[in-house]
Amino acid sequence: MATSALSLKNIDAYYGDSHVLTDVSFELGEARMLGLLGRNGAGKSTCMSVTMGLLAPRRGEVVVFGDKVTGLSPEMVAAQGVALVPQGRRIFKSLTVRENLMVAARKPDAGSKHAPWIAETVFAMFPRLAERHKQIAAHLSGGEQQMLAIGRALMGNPRVLLMDEPSEGLAPQIVAEVMATIRKLKESGLSIVLVEQNPRLVFDVADDIVILNTGRVAVVSTPAQLDKDGVDLTQHLGVF
Partner 1 sequence: MNFWLVLTANSVTFGGLLFLLSAGFSLIFGLMRIPNLTHGSLFMLGAYVGATFVVGLLGFQLNFWLAAILATLAVAAVGALAERLLLRRLPGDQLAQVLVTLGLSFMAADFCLMVWGGDPLNIATPGGLGGFVRFGVMVFPAYRLAIIVIAIVVAVGLWLLLDRTRLGAMIRAGVDDPDMARVVGIRVSQLFTVVFALGAGLAAFAGIIGGPILSVYPGLDQDMLPLALVVVILGGSGSLLGSFVGSIIVGFIYNFGQALLPELAYFVLFMPMLLVLLLRPQGLFGRHVP
Contact residues: ligand ADP, CB under 6 A: 15, 18, 20, 38, 40-46
Residue 179-218 contact track with partner 1, rule CB under 8 A, x = bound: ----------------------------------------
Applying CB under 5 A, the residues found at the interface with Mg ion are: 44-45, 87
Binding partner selected for residue 43 from Mg ion, ligand ADP, partner 1, none, CB under the kind-specific 5 to 8 Å limit: ligand ADP
On whether the CB atoms of residues 140 and 167 are closer than 8 A, the answer is no
Q: Please choose, out of 3-11, 25-33, 101-109, 140-148, the segment that lies near partner 1 by the rule CB under 8 A.
A: 101-109
Of 30, 46, 15, whose CA–CA distance to 188 is shortest?
Answer: 30
Using the minimum distance from each CB to Mg ion, give the nearer residue, 33 or 48: 48
Residue ranges that bind partner 1, judged by CB under 8 A: 52, 54, 73-75, 78-79, 83-84, 86, 90, 92-95, 99-100, 102-104, 106, 152-153, 155-156
